[in-house]
A and B are shown apart, each in its own frame.
Chain A
Amino acid sequence: MDGLKCPEVLLNSLENGHFVIDENFTVTYWNRWLSVSTQISSEEIIGKSLQEFYPDINYIILLRKIRTALRLNTPTFYDSNSNTVFLPIIRNKVTKTALKLIQQQVTISPYIVSENKVMVSVYNISELHETKLSLQKEIEKVNELNNILEHDQEIIDKNIMIIKTNTKGTITDVSTLFCEFFKYDKNELVGNKASILKSGTLPDLVYQELWETILSKKSWSGEIENKTSSGDKKWVQSRITPIINETGELVEFNAVYQDVTNEKLLEELYITDPLTQLYNRRYFDELMTSITLHQRKADTDFIILIADIDHFKSINDTHGHQVGDEALKDVARVLKNSLRDNDVVARWGGEEFVIMLKNTDLQEAQMIAEKLRTNIEKRKIQNTINITTSIGLTKYYVGEDTNLTFKRADNALYKAKESGRNMVVTQL
């Protein structure tokens, strides 16, 4: 071997390529691995220029690396990640591979400096490179998924009203749409109690039931009325979900809101009498149907009153319909103001009103009916016209057809009219 310092057998036994060249690129040694891998035998290449066999190598760069190695007496390197391989050697991997050619790490080491010779070592790093490529591919996939996730989160944030609170009801996060809807900056809400949004018109009972449900780690759904920072009332359909950690502890509440203000307004219009602003007959009928259908104990204990304005036709005929309407509105106001929150009053039609007194015994109901009658009697329409009402009273018997209940109430009312009006008559 031409000037080789170590035994040829050693270099031939290595699983890497090693060859010796000088500054003219003349090859003076070519090991067995290279002969086998490149199909160029050492007999063919030794004594000849590498350029004859590998014309595509950038020889300006190679010469600079050779000179650097010789001048500094230190190895020089090619970038092992480069897409251009130094010696194109076909990879024999039969199963799926990302690399057709062997990926190489090339080191140029000073060999015999006085003769300007260097040893070029070619290491096969294909497996490592392949792993790196597949890892890069996986990272790209993960990044892509992250981008999609971020994009989705942005869509959710801008299009869904979400509020998160801790277990004490202090707001910890809100979505952008939530802030826009309630006209708050995020920092005005975070740290505050969720009750800042309460409109104040819903009975405490609603919130009590809500808290009992979610604190028992169950979801709560329902409609609640809230208010914006400028005081506008908004109805939302809310679903509150308790979040529980691995050990079963309650950690926070997440709620999704949906604006149902318009639906609520329509619903109210549907069940409200436009003149008196009391419930209309449709609502009262639905309420009665629901009660008799479900027969819940708490709902079936009630008294029915039917009130009718006395001589209403003559008020209309004498003073005109406008005054008649005034009388209806006035009576409605008196009824509403004289009753309890959980009693229900509706306009039954014409000058008739129907009242449901819940969880009331007969004696108490009679006292209430009497109070209604006297309160109306005390009123003067347009400060001059006296009006009176006749009231028929009956009790609902569990399980009976409500038509029978109303028939009894009607009969009682008829008796009151017959007996001289402006009185309460009970029929059981």
Chain B
Amino acid sequence: MIFNEDQTDALKEFMNISIGQATAHVAELLNAFGTMHIPKISIQDMSELNQVVIDNIDKDSNYYMIKQLFSGKFGGECVFIISEDSANNLGAHLYEIQMPLEDDITDAVMELTNIITSSIVSRLTEELDVQVQFFAPTSNFLNASNIIDDDEVTSYSKIIVISTELEFKDKNISANIFILTKDEAIISLRDLIDKKIEELY
């Protein structure tokens, strides 16, 4: 185990705060009031990512998948997966039109991804006292069975998967967010958590 029980608890607490902040930003900037579930945190082999993602989505639906890279000492990738219906509703809400165009939907999903990724990762990198660079997100519209291509997942041995669900009940929008970071970032994160635990006790 890379994280012991105390470290996992502290990380969960820390992520709760970050996600709370992200939710507030979404509400303020997108005028969408929602909730994000308490994040599930796990350390996985990269090969297990596909199963983790599939467990959280409906296998017969189509999804928008937005990936945003962030680099630096705490580098990684944020994968935002939102169903076609939710993405349509989000596009309609952000563009204030009934029938959003494909481009409007993609832009809306990218904007939401950007806000959430920035909020969560910026908070973490501030705490870690490291610089972070965000890259332009890329979008794909895929069937659930093609979400994660096995060929894609070879670069990292272990990954930290922070997954949460975002719900805007009055807008009928929900999505899954996976924050994937690599070995080095996992160690930085563990050191940070140890420091925080020390400060507390």
**A residues lining the B interface (CB < 8 Å):** 58, 60-61, 64-65, 67-68, 71-84, 105, 107
Q: Indicate if the CB atoms of B118 and A74 lie closer than 8 Å.
A: yes
> Is there contact, CB below 8 Å, between B103 and A68?
no
Given A64-B30, A71-B28: A77 and B96 within 8 A (CB)?
no
C-alpha gap A58/B97 in the complex (Å): 13
A interface footprint on B123-158 (CB within 8 Å = 1, 0 otherwise): 000000000001011110000000000000000000
Interface positions of B (Cβ within 8 A of A): 25, 28-30, 94-96, 103, 106-107, 110-111, 114-115, 118-119, 122, 134, 136-139
Instruction: List B contacts of A68 (CB < 8 A).
Output: 29, 111, 114-115
| Docked complex Cα distance between A74 and B118 (Å) | 7
A82–B138 CA distance with the chains assembled, in angstroms: 11
For the complex formed, measure the closest distance between the CB of B170 and the CB atoms of chain A, giving whole angstroms: 19
Measured CA separation A77–B112 after assembly (Å): 11
CB-defined contacts of A76 to chain B, threshold 8 Å: 111, 114
A residues less than 8 Å from B137 (CB atoms) = 77, 79
Chain B residues whose CB sits within 8 angstroms of the CB of A72 once the complex forms: 25, 29, 115, 118-119, 122
- Decide if B115 touches A79 in the complex (CB within 8 Å): no
State in angstroms the CA–CA spacing of A29 and B134 once bound together.
24
Shortest Cβ distance from A76 into B: residue: B114
Bound form: Cα–Cα A418–B60 in Å: 95
In the bound complex, how far is the Cα of B141 from the Cα of A402, in angstroms? Answer: 83
- Cα distance, A105 to B135, chains bound together (Å): 11
Q: List 23 A-B contacts (CB under 8 A).
A: A60-B96, A61-B94, A68-B111, A68-B114, A71-B29, A72-B115, A72-B118, A72-B122, A74-B118, A74-B122, A74-B134, A76-B111, A77-B114, A78-B107, A79-B106, A79-B110, A81-B139, A82-B103, A82-B106, A82-B107, A83-B103, A105-B136, A107-B136
Which B residue's beta carbon lies closest to that of A64? B29
Beyond A61-B94, A67-B29, A72-B29, 16 additional contacts (C-beta under 8 Å) are: A72-B118, A72-B119, A76-B114, A77-B137, A79-B107, A79-B110, A79-B137, A79-B139, A80-B136, A81-B138, A82-B103, A82-B106, A82-B107, A83-B103, A84-B103, A107-B136
